[in-house]
Amino acid sequence: MDDVRVAIIGAGIIGASCAYHLARRGAEVTVIEKEEGVAMGSTGRSAAGFRTQFAQPHNVDLSLLSLEWYAANESGYRPEGYLFLVPDGDLAEREALVEMQRSRGADVRLLTVEEAQQIVEFDPAGIAGAAHGPKDGFVDPDQSTQLLMRNARSEGTVFHRLETVIGVERGSAWTLITDDGQIEADVVVNAAGAWSGGIAELAGLDVPVQPQRNDVFVTAPQDRGGPLPLTVDLTSGVYFRTEGDRLLIGHHDHDSPKGFLTGVDWDHLEEMMPALFERYPWFEQEELDTKASWWGYYEVTPDYTPILGRDPSAEGWINASGFSGHGVMHAPGCGQLIAEEILDGRAHTIDIEPFRIERFDGADLTTETAVI
Ligand SMILES: Cc1cc2nc3c(=O)[nH]c(=O)nc-3n(C[C@H](O)[C@H](O)[C@H](O)COP(=O)(O)OP(=O)(O)OC[C@H]3O[C@@H](n4cnc5c(N)ncnc54)[C@H](O)[C@@H]3O)c2cc1C
Is pLDDT above 70 for 2? no
Distances (CA, A) of 124 to 53, 90, 247: 22, 14, 21
- Residue 242 falls within a domain, yes or no? yes
103 within some domain: yes
Q: In what order do the strands lie in the sheet with 181-185?
A: 165-170, 174-178, 181-185
Do 192 and 178 lie in one domain? The reply is yes
CATH value at residue 27? 3.50.50.60
pLDDT in tens, 70-89: 999 999 999 999 999 999 99
Residue 1 has a pLDDT of 57
Contact assessment for residue 21 and residue 335, using Cβ atoms and an 8 Å cutoff: yes
Distance in Å, CA 266 to ligand 1 centroid: 22
CATH code for the domain of 94:
3.30.9.10
- Rounded Cα distance between 24 and 6, Å, is 13
Query: Does residue 329 sit in the same domain as residue 201?
Result: yes
Residue 275 confidence (pLDDT): 97
- Give the model's confidence band at 132: pLDDT under 50 very low, under 70 low, under 90 confident, else very high: very high
Amino acid at 133: G
The crossing angle, in degrees rounded to 10, of helices 13-24 and 327-343 is 30
In short, whether 49's Cβ falls inside 6 Å of ligand 1 is: yes
- Residue 52 falls inside a structural domain: no
Ligand 1 pocket test, pick from 36, 43, 293 with the greatest ligand atom count within 8 Å of Cβ, gives 43
- Of 324, 299, 368, the C-alpha closest to 41 is 299
In degrees to the nearest 10, what's the CA dihedral of 223, 227, 230, 235? -50
Q: Name the residue of 14, 18, 34, 46 whose CB sits within 8 Å of the most ligand 1 atoms, as the mutation to test its pocket.
A: 46
Share of residues in the chain with pLDDT > 70 (%)? 99
Closest Cα to atom 12, ligand 1: which residue? Answer: 326
Report CA(228)–ligand 1 centroid distance (Å).
25
Q: Is residue 17 part of a domain?
A: yes
Cα–Cα distance for residue pair 95/315, rounded to 1 Å: 43
The number of domains in the chain is 2
323 CB near ligand 1 (under 6 Å) = yes
For residue 193, how far is its CA from the centre of ligand 1 (angstroms)?
A: 5
pLDDT at 41 over 60: yes
CA of 172 to the centre of ligand 1 (A): 31
324 in any annotated domain: yes
Please indicate, yes or no, if residue 58 is contained in any of the structural domains. Answer: no
Q: How far apart are CA 252 and CA 268, in angstroms?
A: 10
Q: Give me the domain span that covers residue 333.
A: 5-45+141-209+302-361
Mean pLDDT score of the chain: 96
CB neighbourhood size of 165 (10 A): 25
Residues 215, 295 contacting (CB under 8 angstroms):
yes
CA 278–ligand 1 middle distance (angstroms): 32
Ligand 1, atom nearest to 15 Cα = 25
CA 334, CA 336: separation in Å to the nearest integer? 5
How far is ligand 1, taken at its centre, from the CA of residue 315, in Å?
A: 25
Q: Specify the range with the lowest mean pLDDT, choosing from 64-78, 110-124, 213-227, 357-371.
A: 357-371
Q: Residue 168: which pLDDT band, with cuts at 50, 70 and 90?
A: very high
pLDDT in tens, 192-229: 999 999 999 999 999 999 999 999 999 999 988 889 99
Q: Is the CB of 15 under 6 A from ligand 1?
A: yes
The answer to whether residues 13 and 97 belong to one domain is no
For residue 66, give the amino acid letter. Answer: S
Instruction: Give the residue from 272, 296, 320 where a domain finishes.
Output: 296
Residue nearest atom 41 in ligand 1 by C-alpha distance: 165
